[in-house]
Amino acid sequence: MRRKLIAGNWKMHGALTSNAQLLQSVLTGAGNLSAVEIAVCVPFPYLAQARSLLEGTNIAWGAQNLSEQPQGAFTGEVGAPMLNDFGCRYVIVGHSERRCFYGETDALIAEKFAAALANRISPILCVGETLEQRDSGQTIEVVSTQVNAVLERIGIAGFSGAVIAYEPVWAIGTGRTATSAQAQEVHASIRALLSKADSGIAGQLRILYGGSVKPSNASELFSMEDIDGGLIGGASLVAADFLAICQAAFSFR
Ligand code: 13P
């Protein structure tokens, strides 16, 4: 049985005062949802705040990116050992916004994934197709290529304890969600791909869905066999919405 995971991706949002209010409300509301794992991935400057407010609670925290390098003359970068210093359990790797806006390649993303593992931080590897790719029937091929790039670099053992998030690019921040059947098809294909390497690890791996998850569509998505939770953008910034999504996952625990 895979424990459902709901992870918030705050993206480049937040401020000290509003973060404190948001985290306090989430903490209060999440008190009896411990059958679900809840995490928030915050901007780097707020990791210290997340740690001070969340340490010792049932909510984990993490970052949204990391350098593939551990340290050195890489101006503006943040390495995995630094994330470790702030108690990060998770780090998002290869989000489509990083692939699209910052030119991150499959090869670089595989290095980042390796850097997280080397520092005992669970990578949340994001994969997903564009609308054009979906419309031309390439979805499974695109997602498989993205997963294979990491599999070939790291090996299947690297997926034990890691998380994959399927986030169709066309569903991110658009209000357009993949149907539960569309998402399930891709999730099942990812699990089948990894099963060929190790069915035990693939069976344990949590595969999250991300892309316009809201309280109104969360239950339908989480009811699917291979959807093990969500990576939540916009709705993770509103405590009531984020908690309602956690509650939806709780009902499928
Ligand atoms: P939205 O939930 O805002 O569509 O964002 C999804 C996402 O990109 C999470 O990483």
Mean pLDDT of 191-195: 98
- pLDDT over threshold 80, residue 196: yes
pLDDT in tens, 79-101: 999 999 999 999 999 999 999 99
- The region of weakest confidence among 28-32, 54-58, 89-93, 144-148 is 28-32
pLDDT attached to residue 76? 98
pLDDT attached to residue 176? 87
Atom of ligand 1 nearest to the CA of 213: 2
Q: What is the mean pLDDT of the chain?
A: 97
Ligand 1: does its nearest atom lie under 6 Å from the Cβ of 129?
A: no
Q: In the structure encoding, which two tokens stand for residue 57, read together?
A: 């609670």
Active site residue 187: no
Of the listed 37, 97, 129, 167, which one is catalytic? 167
Q: In the structure encoding, which two tokens stand for residue 93, read together?
A: 């790797």
pLDDT attached to residue 1? 81
Question: DSSP state, 4?
Answer: P
**Tally of residues, the chain:** 253
Mean pLDDT of 120-141: 97
CA dihedral 223, 63, 169, 186 (to 10 degrees): -40
Mean pLDDT of 11-15: 98
Q: Which residues pair with 230 in a beta bridge?
A: 6, 209
- pLDDT over threshold 80, residue 253: no
CA angle in degrees (0–180, nearest 5) for 172-228-63: 60
pLDDT band at 34 (very low <50, low <70, confident <90, very high): confident
Q: Per-residue DSSP letters for 76-110? A: T---HHHHHHTT-SEEEES-HHHHHHS---HHHHH
Task: Please provide the CATH number assigned to the domain covering 5-250.
Answer: 3.20.20.70
Ligand 1: does its nearest atom lie under 6 Å from the Cβ of 173?
A: yes
Mean pLDDT of 41-46: 98
Q: In the structure encoding, which two tokens stand for residue 136, read together?
A: 């031309």
Ligand 1: does its nearest atom lie under 6 Å from the Cβ of 233?
A: yes
Residue among 64, 93, 174 at smallest CA distance from 130: 174
Q: How far apart are CA 253 and CA 249, in angstroms?
A: 6
pTM for the whole structure: 0.98
**Ligand 1 centre from 127 Cα, in Å?**
12
Ligand 1: does its nearest atom lie under 6 Å from the Cβ of 158?
A: no
End-to-end Cα separation, the chain, in angstroms: 9
Q: How far is the CA of 30 from the CAs of 88, 123, 141, in angstroms?
A: 19, 23, 38
Domain chopping of the chain, boundaries = 5-250
**Ligand 1 centre from 73 Cα, in Å?**
32
Mean pLDDT of 198-211: 98
The preferred substitution site among 12, 167, 174, 238 for testing ligand 1, maximizing ligand atoms within 8 Å of CB, is 167
The preferred substitution site among 11, 13, 241 for testing ligand 1, maximizing ligand atoms within 8 Å of CB, is 11
pLDDT attached to residue 212? 95
Is the CA virtual torsion 21, 22, 26, 29 positive or negative? positive
